[in-house]
Structure 1
């Protein structure tokens, strides 16, 4: 089995962690009769020899031995070895790796009829990718689809047919016909769902016109068949108990995910599919739908009130997994979670134990149900938040969530001031504790908080790291108070020669309205400050309006030559100071296309410009017509992107109204 393995100079080869001298041991471990040893060896292969999908010279040296292992019936877990080979040969691993696996692909052909279902499940996709005989591959897939009885293997064969359609479009007709046949009776519901998903990915024109009701019906039929099967027996272990409490259905999740990928921008159909599944009787189906909804909400725009309301309906059941999944999705929706607010409030009311999440290490954090309710802007979150502010330890980040309540959070102002007064500026945790509280005070524009903000500002000298962030947040809190913060002017003047100069100058302008005192500082930061300081200086100059006309030449230079954020801020300041759209609109148009994250700032300014912004009406109209969120991208994105995108859409609507003749 390992003939020639000792003749390889493994010491001269490398993997992710250096010398490959341990690789022969890993290869031999894959053939072990001991389950734990096999699993450790496979972990080692993925952890070092094929670390994070990378291919090294030692990886290529392993390929012939992996083919031998996959072909020996006495070796267990050979399906995992075939999957490892397929991963090594993937396109992302490079042409040498693909060529190495293709060179041995003939050895995979007899494995399509292997007695082990795990092997038969792993082989079809690998044959499509690496056996350069498409007609032979298609014939093999057709034959196996006819005789195979294992449902998991049938799903793998269906997926391989879909892959064949996408990889070999010039020879796809036969595979498409097979998929079309598998999408109907007498095939099992899971196979039919898989075929519909693969048709959607490779031949959407062959999908039935009643796809969504058909898919929902098949999902329910599949669930009924699963429920009628033998009960799963879990060992009396911790893992077994967790499985009993938290059921999962990976196959169902995969089938649903494939359908959603196939539907892509057909958002109305995707919503209907989710609604159908969320309305079904099976909790596993509903849980899969909840998790699937998260990607739809984050990546696309639509009226999601129907599925959000149904997700809210999952909060009052006895399934912990379903409730936790629903909360996890709702907490990322911010204002879009409003249709589920009644259910969130009910959960917060009856389960105060969920108000706080306690970690093994670090500060406790705000629990999901209360966080989702606050982020939705619902004032019913205020009483619970008030109780948390009265506890000895305030959950980390609580103040940041209070911000989303807007004016409804006013009753919390006294408690916020009291907690600010308890922060020790000299504590290493001062910034971590104070920043959320300062954010909430800033949102409320509470003038009574002035003494506590000043105390923190005086006690946190300028410097690097967390203290710097604390100073910046405190200055912003003073800025929103306007003339009510005049008592802070000596402290603000003391910051005009620090890294916070631009922010302090803006707060000083709000307090005193003395352009002569702040204009030289802002001009200095505009010309000689760091990139962030220059951007902040431009933003503050725009607030001065006509009083900053002396800064126009410098702003024009920055608008024409700075980085994108500096250019955008400078262009906005030019408009606010001079009111001339001619030098502003070209900068906005270029930035809009260059970086989608700039669109929120630009759209807000266009809404204020009125008819002067009409030449960019095409950008605003195109944004509103786009089905995808402006930050949607492969690989995931932060939950706050939903809130940012919704604000962008609101500003675009305002701008479009303002631009109308």
Structure 2
């Protein structure tokens, strides 16, 4: 076998993402191992180093002959994965400019992508044999490889079409997609391939899944000519798909057993925060596809783009499907549409809520998680969420938050978290159970801040959990930070003693981030935390600037002694905590007058944000005497960087009539002056901070189905 000649390659002279390629032959041998663990490790190492993030190196090219031999050997234990790796390498190379010169990690020029395509193209005939292999897992990547790499496009289409009868559903959908991909790549076969797809879509003797795929991929061939009948036809075909037929012999259906882990779950490895462990579990779930038609429907949504009404109609049918796998995969698509496009999505939210099925915890967990990601938009699902939560408590008992069945527990927790996020006190019993018993308490902590009406019950429990944090264990810092944050959000002064103790403990263990958060939380209670001055005052002179700035701000909030605070804040103006110091000086107002000379000097800074912060503080401290310089500075910064507009207008709003721009100011265009004058009008001058738009107003701005704006 050629693998025995692997040591004849000068691997040392090549490199990969992490250094010399001397370890590549070991990985190649590992891929041929009969031990599944060894194989998995070998593939993982190769992907992360020799095919790092899709990159192709000389060592990747040198590996290709050995990979082809493994893929072609009946004795190879995992040929499908090897062909999948070949497919990934080839796809990367096809996406790169053949005329471009790229650079290897060592800085040398590389055209490895061209060399790799030459090797793959020279061996592409083997894909014709692989697409007829007895192993369906081998056939699947081979079908895509045939369409990508066989030089004779007409032959590729002919071979692919011949495979359709008798193939499993997943392969048939792959065949249809690959024919369209070949047509898009080669104009010589475009017409014939498109006609075949058109005929296949109308062939009533074919399975509805195949007809749906043909319909969508025919549209892919001419994306600019998608007619009004495509979505209604797709909806009609979706209705024809039945649970007994979907996927036929190889449907990866939606089953409770698909959830990883054992009953009752397992604790994270020592030193790994539970939040991090859960994040990795979430990543694993996101990659799942349950219905073979999901890739087809995703392609159709991509083609439809901004045709939101049609996409909504399609998603509504997906979420109503009689096939559980189709419904499940539609949850993520619906979430993405709602998050990415503005509009009235009440109908889709209600349909997502309809996926909260007590008998199907797997789907319920996904639906609740999707609703949770939508924030206030999930409001129409409130009653369904409450009903689901109550039904779970009735069926599984009041401790269902900690149910031993992993799926039941996760579904209930996700639903409770969404309900709590809406401020609904019907979530409170489960939240209290979590805080009292400790099972996944961190999940309850994340949403407890929305239940302000129950602060009297929540604050003692959260304070107790904060007191139990071991600040010498850095892995608990995330939990400490979350507890501090929620106590601040609940705004219950009864939390102040626990926060003061947390400051002391965090400083002792040099957990500066937690110390800063706790100081900020103490400051939010104002003079009600004055008992903590003995803790706070020494920290206003520590070396760590983050802690010093937070402690100085807390001193002002707790004591209100400008004489003791302003000099410290002026010192901070020459550090990277400048913006925080300026903000506190502005809050102090006239008593911060000793800072005025330094703030005036900051108006000449090169960085526009520095000028904006300084100008705002100048107005808050100096008033009318500083108005002219403040307005000029603000408008100049706005002209330079539109991102400053919110801060600029907020300050002009506080200034009232004094904030009207003078003729000839830097940004005195008609629209700018109108906006600034409106912000500074007498009717709004006392609104600080500026009031947020009402919900109806926000909904109105969504009506045009524009892409959601960034931050």
Q: What TM-score bracket applies, with the shorter chain setting the length?
A: 0.7 to 0.9
Contact 1:354 1:369 in 2 (8 A): no
Distance change (3 Å), C-alpha of 1:420 and 1:32 = closer
Aligned residues: 611
CA distance in 2, matches of 1:355, 1:289: 26
Q: How does 1:66-77 map to 2 (within 5 A)?
A: 66-68=67-69, 70=71
Q: How does 1:334-353 map to 2 (within 5 A)?
A: 334-349=375-390, 350-351=392-393, 352-353=398-399
CA distance in 1, matches of 2:219, 2:379: 33
Contact 1:453 1:478 in 2 (8 A): yes
Contact 2:170 2:250 in 1 (8 A): no
Q: How big is the shift at 1:460?
A: 4.5
Distance change (3 Å), C-alpha of 1:176 and 1:509 = farther
Q: How big is the shift at 1:403?
A: 1.9
User: Alpha-carbon deviations, 1:202-244, whole Å to 9, x = none?
Assistant: 633332313333223323323456259469899xxx989999x
Q: How does 1:116-155 map to 2 (within 5 A)?
A: 116=133, 121-123=140-142, 125-127=144-146, 129-130=148-149, 136-138=152-154, 140-141=156-157, 144-145=160-161, 148-149=164-165, 150=167, 151-155=169-173
Contact 1:389 1:415 in 2 (8 A): no
Name which of structure 1's ranges 211-220 and 223-232 shifts more when overlaid on structure 2: 223-232
User: Alpha-carbon deviations, 1:514-551, whole Å to 9, x = none?
Assistant: 43332222221122x22xx2221122233234554654
User: Alpha-carbon deviations, 1:122-143, whole Å to 9, x = none?
Assistant: 3454355445x5xx31553256
CA distance in 2, matches of 1:139, 1:81: 24
Residue number in structure 2 paired with 1:409:
454
Distance change (3 Å), C-alpha of 1:230 and 1:70 = closer
Residue number in structure 1 paired with 2:329:
288
CA distance in 2, matches of 1:476, 1:319: 43
Distance change (3 Å), C-alpha of 1:144 and 1:15 = same
1:101 aligns with 2:131: no
1:385 aligns with 2:442: no
1:503 aligns with 2:550: yes
- TM-score normalised by L of structure 1: 0.76
CA distance in 2, matches of 1:51, 1:124: 24
Q: How does 1:320-339 map to 2 (within 5 A)?
A: 320-339=361-380
Contact 1:317 1:323 in 2 (8 A): yes
Distance change (3 Å), C-alpha of 1:140 and 1:354 = same
Could you say what secondary structure the match of 2:633 adopts? coil
Contact 1:365 1:395 in 2 (8 A): no
Residue number in structure 1 paired with 2:517:
473
Distance change (3 Å), C-alpha of 1:173 and 1:515 = farther
1:587 aligns with 2:588: no
Structure 2: 5+ residue runs without aligned partners? 97-101, 103-110, 263-284, 661-670, 677-692
Name which of structure 1's ranges 275-284 and 364-373 shifts more when overlaid on structure 2: 364-373
Residue number in structure 2 paired with 1:279:
320
Of residues 573, 576, 589, the one that matches 1:526 is 573
Residue number in structure 1 paired with 2:418:
372
Residue number in structure 2 paired with 1:515:
562
Q: How does 1:228-377 map to 2 (within 5 A)?
A: 229=248, 249-349=290-390, 350-351=392-393, 352-356=398-402, 367-377=413-423
Query: Cα RMSD between the aligned structures?
Result: 4.7
CA distance in 1, matches of 2:707, 2:482: 31
Distance change (3 Å), C-alpha of 1:452 and 1:140 = closer
Q: How big is the shift at 1:623?
A: 9.3
Q: How does 1:531-542 map to 2 (within 5 A)?
A: 533-542=577-586
Q: How big is the shift at 1:507?
A: 3.0
Contact 1:122 1:156 in 2 (8 A): no
Residue number in structure 2 paired with 1:157:
175
CA distance in 1, matches of 2:35, 2:528: 74
- TM-score normalised by L of structure 2: 0.71
CA distance in 1, matches of 2:521, 2:199: 65
Q: How big is the shift at 1:344?
A: 2.2
Name which of structure 1's ranges 40-49 and 540-549 shifts more when overlaid on structure 2: 40-49
Structure 1: 5+ residue runs without aligned partners? 632-644, 646-661
Residue number in structure 1 paired with 2:56:
55
Q: How big is the shift at 1:286?
A: 1.1
Q: How big is the shift at 1:289?
A: 0.9
Distance change (3 Å), C-alpha of 1:45 and 1:523 = closer
CA distance in 2, matches of 1:129, 1:387: 56
Could you say what secondary structure the match of 1:306 adopts? helix
Name which of structure 1's ranges 469-478 and 616-625 shifts more when overlaid on structure 2: 616-625
Residue number in structure 1 paired with 2:2:
2
Contact 2:549 2:581 in 1 (8 A): yes
1:115 aligns with 2:132: yes
User: Alpha-carbon deviations, 1:51-109, whole Å to 9, x = none?
Assistant: 54343332211223434555667867655444322322314686422432234414324
Distance change (3 Å), C-alpha of 1:189 and 1:491 = same
Name which of structure 1's ranges 437-446 and 247-256 shifts more when overlaid on structure 2: 247-256
Q: How big is the shift at 1:165?
A: 5.7
Distance change (3 Å), C-alpha of 1:585 and 1:203 = farther
CA distance in 2, matches of 1:571, 1:184: 68
Q: How big is the shift at 1:324?
A: 1.7
Distance change (3 Å), C-alpha of 1:512 and 1:15 = closer
Residue number in structure 2 paired with 1:444:
490
Distance change (3 Å), C-alpha of 1:507 and 1:344 = same
Residue number in structure 2 paired with 1:638:
none
Distance change (3 Å), C-alpha of 1:108 and 1:570 = farther
Residue number in structure 2 paired with 1:657:
none
Residue number in structure 2 paired with 1:395:
441
